[in-house]
Copies of this chain bind each other. A is one copy, B any other.
Amino acid sequence: MRIGEVAEKAGVGVETIRFYERKGLIEQPRKPADGGYRSYSSETVNRVRFVREAQCLGFSLNEIEELLTLRADPETDCADVRERAQAKLDEVKNKIARLAGIQSALENLIQECRGDGPASSCCPILDALDTEDKESMT
C-alpha cells in the first residue's frame, strides 16, 4: 500500500503520514527496491487512526508513542510494560474523573436553567469546579 492510500483510508493528508513517520509513530518503510516508494501494511492505517483518536482524547504525540510501545516489542519484559500501562491507566482514570466533574456541573447548569428568565444566576460551572479545585493543583 502506498502513502496516498494509507492517508486516504486513515482520513489524513499524505504529509501527515510523512510527519508521523519522521516522529517515529509509524513504521519506517524505506523501500528503495520498489522505485523508492514507501510501502505500508494495513497495520499502519490502524496505527494512524489510533493516533488521531488518542489525540482527540487529549494525549500528545509523545504520550501516544508511549501507548503504542506498550504492545510493541516482543523482547520487552512484561513487568515493564505493566508498569507503563498502569501509569497510563492512572492518568486516564484521573482524566475521566475530572471530566465527570465538568459533566455534572454542566448537567446542573442545564437543570437549573429551565429555559425561562435570565441566565445570570443559574450557571454554576466555575463554582462547581472551584469547590473541588481549591487546593488540588499539582
Copy count, this protein chain: 2
Among B77, B109, B110, B130, contact of A119 (Cβ-Cβ < 8 Å):
B77
A interface residues, how many (CB within 8 angstroms): 60
Residues from 22 to 77 in A contacting B, C-beta threshold 8 Å: 46-47, 49-50, 52-54, 56-58, 67-68, 70-77
List the interface of chain A (C-beta within 8 A of B). 11, 46-47, 49-50, 52-54, 56-58, 67-68, 70-82, 85-86, 88-89, 92-93, 95-96, 98-100, 102-103, 106-107, 109-110, 113-120, 122-126, 129-130, 133, 137
Nearest 10 pairs of A and B residues by beta carbon = A58-B58, A71-B123, A74-B120, A81-B119, A89-B106, A76-B119, A78-B119, A78-B113, A92-B103, A85-B109
